């Protein structure tokens, strides 16, 4: 056994080399290092060296997956507004970014087809009015005995047919999107309340019956957005619906909730799509913005072999002779314990082998114990 009376005045083992050591037993001011990997220190010396002592943490770790993501509008709160019939845009009332209320006019389209549909409604309505008037006259004459019942029944059937024709004409116009406006014009209204996030409509633009693209506006409610990201299958397997996801960008942070984990790989990227819901009532986030997403996932409490996984501060791990070790507190100081490490989670690291969880280990400033161990081995090599 070799003693190093001034050993704790190097490698930051004392607060200051000029400070006197506390009054203890003669041997207590020395750090004794053994060839078997033990470092003898008293409680006073440990305190003076500011070596933190911690216990391993058992149970599940709080691991996280970090990946880039894109903020998009929620598909369930997005509507495409298209021209329903052939025609020409004669009025536009909303532009990109404008807020709109449900039913508010977005555009007016002049259309021959609209005129035909409106005209058909007017024709059927006129016929229905005539059929109703005829029925009323025949019923009055029948009551006075001047009309036979058979003619009254014919008038009643004609009136019913005329009413059906009016309803059919209105349904056809509604199916074509024709509502409001004058005889030859269609009013295009917002189907939901939200903001205009896209506008392709141009004043004077014409559409034909076989137009490939008839989209005029895209309206989205931005109170709730979607966070879209792609993960490798192995990582996606650790993500669960309802799990938490943190979105960060330019000093902003907010939590989102995982809503969807795709059951199949994307055919092009071979990755798994994950979508999370993001509350945007504050208006801090924008559609199309790229952000950093951090998904919290639970680590296993045991490894594949069934051994317990413990979490310790990364600062507690030192490398000695190409092995990862920690310094375990003993009655006389510390002993080195080789460990097998697992996944790192921030400032913590998993230990899959080498500790039972009942030990007390050196954490902060444990590197000074490694320095003392190296000095002791050098001394032993010299004898």
pLDDT at 13: 34
Are 246 and 271 found together in one domain? Answer: yes
Q: What is the pLDDT of residue 244?
A: 87
Domain C-terminal end among 298, 327, 349 = 298
Task: Give the tens place of pLDDT for each residue, 218-249.
Answer: 999 999 999 999 998 888 888 888 888 899 99
Question: Quick one: pLDDT at residue 215?
Answer: 87
* Residues in CB range of 371: below 8 A, 6 or more apart: 10, 11, 13
Q: Do residues 294 and 310 both lie within one domain?
A: no
Q: Residue 209: inside a domain, yes or no? A: no
Q: Domain check: are 241 and 264 in the same one?
A: yes
97 within domain boundaries:
no
| Residues 289 and 260 grouped into a single domain | yes
Q: Report the predicted TM-score, pTM, of the whole model to 2 decimal places.
A: 0.48
Contact 184, 112 (CB under 8 A): yes
Q: Collapse the DSSP code of 25 into the 3-class scheme (helix H, G, I; strand E, B; otherwise coil) and give the result.
A: coil
Q: What's the CATH code of the domain at 287?
A: 2.40.30.170
Residue 2 lies in a domain: no
45-92 residue pLDDT tens = 888 888 888 888 865 545 678 889 999 988 888 999 988 788 889 999
Size (the chain), residues: 383
My answer on whether 228 and 290 are in the same domain is yes
Domain boundary among 242, 270, 298: 298
- Structure confidence by residue, pLDDT tens digits, 109-130: 888 877 788 788 889 999 999 9
Q: Which range marks the domain in which residue 166 is found? A: 112-177
Query: Does residue 41 sit in helix, strand or coil?
Result: coil
Q: Which SS3 state, helix, strand or coil, does residue 115 take?
A: helix
Has residue 216 been placed in a domain?
no
Answer yes or no: do 287 and 357 share one domain: no
Same domain, 311 and 269: no
Average the pLDDT over 169-181 and give the result. Answer: 71
The CATH number covering residue 126 comes to: 1.10.287.470
CA dihedral 55, 58, 60, 61 (to 10 degrees): 20
- Reported as a single tens digit per residue, the pLDDT across 82-98 is 887 888 899 999 998 89
CA atoms of 198 and 215, how far apart (whole Å): 10
Q: Are residues 317 and 371 in the same domain?
A: yes
Over residues 305-320, the pLDDT tens digits come to 555 578 888 888 998 8
In a domain, 17, yes or no: yes
Q: What is the pLDDT of residues 182-219, one digit of tens each?
A: 677 788 889 999 999 899 999 998 887 666 678 899 99
**Residue 303 or residue 17, greater confidence:** 303
Same domain? 251 vs 291: yes
* pLDDT tens, position by position, 124-166: 999 999 999 999 999 999 999 888 999 999 999 999 999 999 9
Q: What letter does residue 15 receive in the DSSP assignment?
A: S
What distances in angstroms separate CA 14 from CA 9, 38, 219, 277, one per listed residue?
A: 6, 19, 67, 53
- Give the up-direction half-sphere exposure of residue 163: CA atoms within 13 A in the CB hemisphere: 9
Average pLDDT of the chain?
80
Of 298, 322, 351, the last residue of a domain is 298
Note whether residue 186 is domain-resident. Answer: no
- Residue 54 domain-assigned (yes or no): yes
Structurally, how many domains does the chain consist of?
Answer: 3
The confidence score (pLDDT) of residue 376 equals: 58
Note whether 293 and 319 are same-domain residues: no
Whether 118 and 109 have beta carbons less than 8 Å apart is answered as no
The three-point CA angle 66-70-71 to 5° equals 120
**Within-domain flag for 213:** no
CATH number of domain containing 325: 2.40.420.20
130 — alpha (psi -120 to 50), left (phi > 0) or beta?
alpha
Is the same domain home to 291 and 328? no
């Amino acid at each position: 056994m070799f003693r190093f009376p001034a050993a704790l005045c190097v490698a930051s083992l004392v607060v200051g080399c000029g400070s006197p050591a506390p009054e203890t037993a003669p041997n207590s001011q020395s750090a004794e290092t053994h060839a078997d990997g033990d470092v003898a220190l008293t409680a006073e010396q440990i305190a003076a060296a500011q070596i933190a002592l911690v216990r391993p943490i058992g149970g599940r770790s709080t691991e996280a997956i970090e990946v880039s993501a894109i903020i998009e509008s929620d598909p369930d709160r997005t509507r495409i507004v298209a021209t329903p019939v052939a025609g020409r845009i004669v009025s536009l009332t909303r532009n990109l970014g404008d807020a709109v209320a449900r039913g508010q006019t977005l555009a007016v389209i002049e259309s021959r087809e609209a005129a035909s549909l409106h005209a058909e409604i007017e024709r059927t309505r006129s016929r229905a009015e005539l059929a109703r008037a005829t029925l009323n006259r025949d019923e009055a004459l029948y009551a006075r005995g001047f009309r036979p019942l058979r003619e009254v029944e014919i008038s009643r059937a004609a009136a019913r047919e005329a009413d059906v024709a009016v309803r059919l004409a209105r349904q056809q116009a509604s199916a074509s999107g024709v509502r409001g406006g004058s005889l030859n014009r269609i009013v295009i209204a917002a189907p939901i309340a939200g903001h205009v996030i896209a506008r392709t409509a141009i004043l004077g633009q014409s559409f034909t019956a076989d137009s490939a693209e008839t989209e005029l506006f895209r309206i989205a409610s931005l109170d709730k957005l979607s966070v879209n990201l792609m993960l490798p299958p192995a990582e996606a397997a650790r993500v669960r619906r309802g799990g938490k996801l943190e979105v960060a960008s330019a000093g902003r942070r907010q939590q989102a909730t995982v809503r969807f984990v795709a059951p199949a790989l994307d055919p092009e990227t071979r990755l798994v799509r994950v979508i999370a819901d993001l509350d945007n009532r504050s208006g801090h986030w924008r559609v199309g913005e790229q952000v950093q997403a951090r998904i919290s996932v639970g680590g296993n409490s045991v490894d594949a072999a069934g051994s317990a996984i413990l979490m310790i501060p990364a600062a507690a791990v030192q490398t000695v002779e190409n092995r990862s070790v920690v310094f375990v507190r003993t009655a006389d100081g510390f002993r080195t314990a080789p460990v097998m490490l697992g996944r790192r989670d921030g400032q913590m690291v998993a230990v899959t082998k080498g500790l039972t969880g009942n030990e007390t280990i050196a954490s902060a400033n444990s590197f000074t114990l490694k320095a003392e161990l190296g000095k002791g081995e050098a001394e032993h090599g010299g004898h």
